[in-house]
Amino acid sequence: MGRRFESCRAHHQKMRKTQIKNINSGIQKNCDILKKNDHVLEVVLEGTTIKILLKKKFNKYIGHYKDMEFESDG
With a cut of 80, say whether residue 6 has pLDDT above it. no
Write out pLDDT tens, residues 21-64: 999 999 999 999 999 999 999 999 999 999 999 999 989 999 99
Return the higher-pLDDT residue of 6 and 30: 30
Which residues, at least 6 apart from 44, have a Cβ–Cβ distance to it below 8 Å? 5, 9, 31, 32, 34, 50, 51, 52
Query: Does the pLDDT of residue 20 top 90, yes or no?
Result: yes
pTM of the model: 0.77
DSSP 5: H
